[in-house]
Amino acid sequence: MTKNSELLDIFSAALAAVDPYRAVLNTVRLEQNCLHAGDAKYALDGYRRIVVVGAGKATARMAAAIEALLGSRISAGLIIVKDGHGVPLHFVDQAEAAHPLPSQAGVAATKKILVMAQQADAQTLIICLLSGGASALLVAPVAEITLADKQQVTSLLLTAGANIAELNAVRKHLSRVKGGRLARMAFPAHVLTLILSDVIGDRLDVIASGPTAQDDSTFAGAWSVLEKFRLEKKIPPQVVNYLQQGMAGMASETIKQGDDCLRKVQNVLVGGLQLALNAAREKAQRLGMRAEIIKTDVQGEAREAAHFLQQTASACSHRMQPNERLVLLSGGETLVTVRGSGMGGRNQELALAFACEIEGRQGVSLLSAATDGSDGQNNAAGAIVDGGTAAQARALGISPELYLDDNDSYHFFQKFDASSGEHTHLISGPTGTNVMDIQIMLLDYGRAL
């Protein structure tokens, strides 16, 4: 078994553990016409209608699991998935839309979901399925804001390096569905929300921008995010006007703790990063390696994360036993402040930066990848590198530093593989799940750390 195949096997085990279909069926069960989810129980005889709605990259397989449980009991349904992430369904309709920038397809599908929510009554059970990506897919701008406005604001924040909590604080305050507002539209129906987390700390108000959760962010907080990244003069004037109206109390806030509409809502986590890392650790151990989870909240700049991993590798190498192989696991979601004009993603940038940091060191390799199979706006999930990657690239006339400086990690790995015959570029296609990013680092004492 090659080094790369071992890393890929460990990554595959992590993905399998957070397969949305399995995650839902491990959390929700049907017994004697009573649906159990977390601490909640729903006697299905008490509902005239069961409606399934939702959005996110992983919700197609989540919906398939609900169909397996409830079948023809489902009265109606619609989920919104990222382009190319759908699966065959029988009782729940699905629409595809763009990500990470919202699209008109997302707006049209969200309008239909909002109608379903507004038509629900006290004898309706709404099952809401949410996973990463829903903030861009479930999109309903307030009347004062256009889709083009939201696209521009989202693009500016992504390019500036805003983290997911900062990005969603702004998006929630330009939306009719985020920040608990879907729960308000659905009231007085009962709402069971099943959530596959793609957020550090599994914060219900941040995952998918919390359409059925209480929200602690404010208009003032959203404005402070724009100030932090000096975007006040770059965003559309109508967005400035609306946020200022909100700060002056002239626009309604997101749903806060104690709101009556939340008393009929149950939010249940079905899976997240920890589950994936635990499975990766178990797989590495079955392959005969010692394995440790070193960090579950990797964040900040991708290059800084690469430096942290390099330092960790150095520190751990000094306490390894002869002939020992050690796997260090981490996960989270980094960001890239774009200064160049290239194409890449946070995992590819992290991997390329790590390759430069460990150049010349034998016995160190790293896989960094997005669990949804999409690292940025390209078809790669991430990359695999080792201590020889940077030097080998240089020997082929490819400068890692030039590509890194241009934020062009995608084309670095594309060119490197074409020139070397290696398979460092990880292109998996949509995985069907989404629990942030995973880094798998292998230290091999026998290869002269």
pLDDT in tens, 199-253: 999 999 999 999 999 999 999 999 999 999 999 999 999 999 999 999 999 999 9
Residue type, 327: V
Domain ranges for the chain, please list them: 19-140+175-217+254-271, 274-447
Torsion sign across C-alpha atoms 295, 406, 165, 177: negative
Predicted local distance difference test score (pLDDT) of residue 131: 96
Domain topology for 274-447 = glycerate kinase, domain 1 (3.40.1480)
Phi and psi at residue 160, in whole multiples of 5°? -75, -15
Q: Where does the pLDDT of residue 319 fall: very low under 50, low under 70, confident under 90, or very high at 90 and above?
A: confident
Q: How confident is the model at residue 38, as a pLDDT?
A: 86
Q: Would you state the pLDDT for residue 318?
A: 83
Q: How far apart are CA 137 and CA 57, in angstroms?
A: 9
Mean pLDDT of all residues in 158-183: 95
pLDDT at position 445, please? 66
Most confident of 158-167, 333-342, 346-355: 346-355
Which of 378 and 55 is assigned the larger pLDDT? 55
Please name which of 50, 37, 432, 53 lies closest in space to residue 267, comparing C-alpha atoms.
37
Residue 446: its pLDDT value, please?
Answer: 60
State the Cα torsion 205-209-215-218 to the nearest 10°. 130
Closest CA to 157 of 136, 132, 137, 178: 136
323 within 8 A of 285, measured Cβ to Cβ: no
Q: Which residues pair with 271 in a beta bridge?
A: 196
125 contact partners, CB below 8 Å, separation of at least 6: 35, 42, 44, 47, 49, 50, 51, 189, 190, 191, 192
Distance between CA atoms of residues 92 and 74, nearest Å: 8
Whether residue 449 has pLDDT greater than 60 = no
Mean pLDDT of 12-24: 97
- Residue 1: pLDDT above 80? no
**Across 129-148, average pLDDT:** 96
Q: Which of 59-63, 264-268, 375-379 has the lowest mean pLDDT?
A: 375-379
Using a pLDDT cut of 90, give the percent of the chain over it: 92
Q: What are phi and psi of 370, to 5 degrees?
A: -80, 130
∠ CA 345-227-405, nearest 5°, is: 30
Model confidence pLDDT, tens digit, residues 283-298: 999 999 999 999 999 9
Mean predicted confidence (pLDDT) in 109-122:
98
Q: Do domains 19-140+175-217+254-271 and 274-447 have the same CATH topology?
A: no
Q: Does domain 19-140+175-217+254-271 have CATH number 3.40.50.10180?
A: yes
Query: C-alpha angle 400/405/409, rounded to 5°?
Result: 55
31 CB contacts (<8 Å, ≥6 apart)?
none
Alpha-carbon span 249 to 322, nearest angstrom: 66
Q: Read off the pLDDT of residues 428-438 as tens digits, 9 standing for 90 and up.
A: 999 999 999 99
Q: Which residue in 128, 223, 98, 132 sits closest to 172, CA to CA?
A: 223
Q: How confident is the model at residue 322 (pLDDT cuts 50, 70, 90)?
A: confident
Strand partners of residue 382: 369, 426
Question: What's the confidence (pLDDT) of residue 2?
Answer: 58
Contact 352, 317 (CB under 8 A): no
Q: Which tokens hold the place of 64?
A: 């398939």
Say if strands 425-426 and 382-386 run parallel, antiparallel, or are unpaired.
antiparallel
* Cα(289)–Cα(441) distance, integer angstroms: 12
To the nearest whole percent, how much of the chain has pLDDT over 70?
A: 98
Average pLDDT of every residue of the chain? 95
Are the CB atoms for 347 and 383 separated by under 8 Å?
Answer: yes
Structure tokens at 122: 């006290």
* Residue pointed to by tokens 């500016």: 156
